A and B are shown apart, each in its own frame.
Chain A
Amino acid sequence: MEEFLQQLTNGLAVGGIYALIALGYTMVYGVLKLINFAHGDLFTYGAYLGLTLLTSLALTDRLGFALGVLVLVLMVMGLVAVLGAILERVAYRPLRESPRLSAVVSALGASIFLQNALMLLYGARFQVYPDHILPTATLNVFGLYLPLMRVLIVLASVAMMIALYLFIQKTRIGAAIRAAAIDQGAARLMGIDVNRVILLVFLMGPALGGVAGLMVGLYYGQINFTMGWVYGMKAFTAAILGGIGNIPGAMVGGLLLGVIEALGAAYISIAWKDAIAFLVLILILIVRPTGLLGERVADKI
């Protein structure tokens, strides 16, 4: 039981990270019907920017751990959001009217560019987050000893998901995003500036992906310029699992995938961890291609 709960909480932490990345895929797909293959690399940029800001500004020394990390999170979100907006302008907007395949090729090109730029800037070796500034404390939750970082990551990712969900469901801008995702032409006839909606999802998705990168750095301590590929594929799987284009689906899919993977690694074999995740992808594509929460009602014609 102890082992199971440890793996479960670990799965939730990893799953929360997957979910935050998956939201970026699913929001962009929802509005543009495009898989932003460079999204995983924006996640990596979050991890690297986090490392650079953390060490060069010594945020936690000056502001203490809690405030320091909060400021760090906000800075990473802001910077990666700007990167996302630039990516949209440079790689996708010029191809808005082109065939879908052109945009996919552009996405892959952007991914290769971003990854190599990072390698040239930081080098190809693993980078290490300084461990002395992070809390190594463990919490005793009803007899279960949990690392503080793990608990914080679960709480932070869930809090961000709830905030995003409320924003999308309850606000006027959120309604505009949902409308544009359903029918761009009809959304324009409502007076919605679809270009601004697209810009907005390219700010919000990368902001969340960037934080996820920072979380990986803080949680595992080690980052690499290629890590966006594996995390990106996992998060993409999570988005499909929940139903691509569906925001709550990405959240559920991410958490579920994280837990499945953690339990699979613990009880089957850690070597099979990635295989299990992609097996989930294959199974869902065969059994329920619309994903767990995919389109509940078909539109009448």
Chain B
Amino acid sequence: MLLEVENLHVRYGNVEALHGINLHVRQGEIVAILGANGAGKTTTLHAISGLLRPSRGEIRFESKPIHKMPAHRLVGMGIAHAPEGRRVFGTLTVRENLNLGAFTQVDRARTSNTLHWIHELFPVLAQRREQLAGTLSGGEQQMLAIGRALMANPRILLLDEPSLGLAPLLVKVIFQTLWEINEAGVTIVLVEQNARAALRLAHRGYVMEVGRIVLEDRAEALLANPEVRNAYLGGQTGGE
């Protein structure tokens, strides 16, 4: 098991946002976490990547407990997180953003290979190398955020709403690339509101509601589940 989350509780001050989450991710999987706004998806990711400290419960990565470690140490262990809202360094160039992604990496040859791979995945990042990240389009910024996270040569990539605010065509391109990234051996945890796109890509999925996991199944099963269809896929007909 690559990642295990057990009875995870997270509080913001006096308010508990997660009331005991259990989930696991196997090596090589793509796991989708679905749910409405405020369900606790982002909070879950933040707890895994160390940005938030759980109030109770355990998170294990390759069987090692990591929930007491600071975020910056987890990156070196192989956990990369492309956060919600992309959070690229707007006043730095694309090249500088990617270099920062490799901050923990010491093997220069490997970093240069990774950069090469990222430029193949997202050719636009190579074209815009010297451009300030803040001047990129939303889709390009999302590509940069994913590329930057990959620069750390992660074993697991946590993605928060990569489709947010993007045109449907661009979403397709990015999800296609996520599949390629997964084929290359990177395990992916994907938090998404675009449930249909996420479940088509993922192997398994979890559905969250107000701080709890209410459903867990294979992606095809979730896609066929009437409750999921009603709540997250826009009704029985499901479109397309």
Chain A residues engaging chain B, CB cutoff 8 angstroms: 172, 175-176, 178-179, 182-183, 185-194, 295-301
Known: A295-B91, A300-B141. A192 touches B51 (CB 8 A): no
A182 x B91 contact (CB < 8 A): yes
Number of A-B contacts (CB under 8 A): 85
Return the CB mask of B139-153 against A: 1 if under 8 Å, else 0.
001000000110010
Report B84 CB to chain A, min CB distance, Å: 10
How many residues from B make CB contacts under 8 Å with A?
A: 35
- Cα A193 to Cα B72 with chains together (Å): 6
Q: Which residues of B contact A297 (CB under 8 A)?
A: 90-91, 132, 134-135
Report A97 CB to chain B, min CB distance, Å: 11
9-residue interface stretch from B14-22, B29-37, B97-105, B187-195: B97-105
27 of the cross-chain contacts (CB-CB < 8 Å) are A172-B103, A178-B89, A178-B91, A178-B96, A179-B89, A182-B89, A182-B90, A182-B92, A185-B51, A186-B88, A188-B72, A189-B80, A190-B75, A190-B101, A190-B103, A191-B75, A191-B76, A191-B103, A191-B104, A191-B152, A192-B103, A296-B91, A297-B135, A299-B90, A300-B90, A300-B135, A300-B141
- Cα A192 to Cα B85 with chains together (Å): 19
Report A196 CB to chain B, min CB distance, Å: 9
B178 within 8 A of A: no
Q: Which residues of A contact B87 (CB under 8 A)?
A: 183, 185-186, 189
B234 within 8 A of A: no
Q: Which residues of B contact A182 (CB under 8 A)?
A: 89-92
A301 x B75 contact (CB < 8 A): no
B49 x A189 contact (CB < 8 A): yes
Q: Which residues of A contact B100 (CB under 8 A)?
A: 175-176, 179, 187, 190, 192
Q: Which residue of A lies closest to B51 (CB)?
A: A185
Report A217 CB to chain B, min CB distance, Å: 37
Which of B80, B87, B101 is packed against the most chain A CB atoms within 10 Å? B87
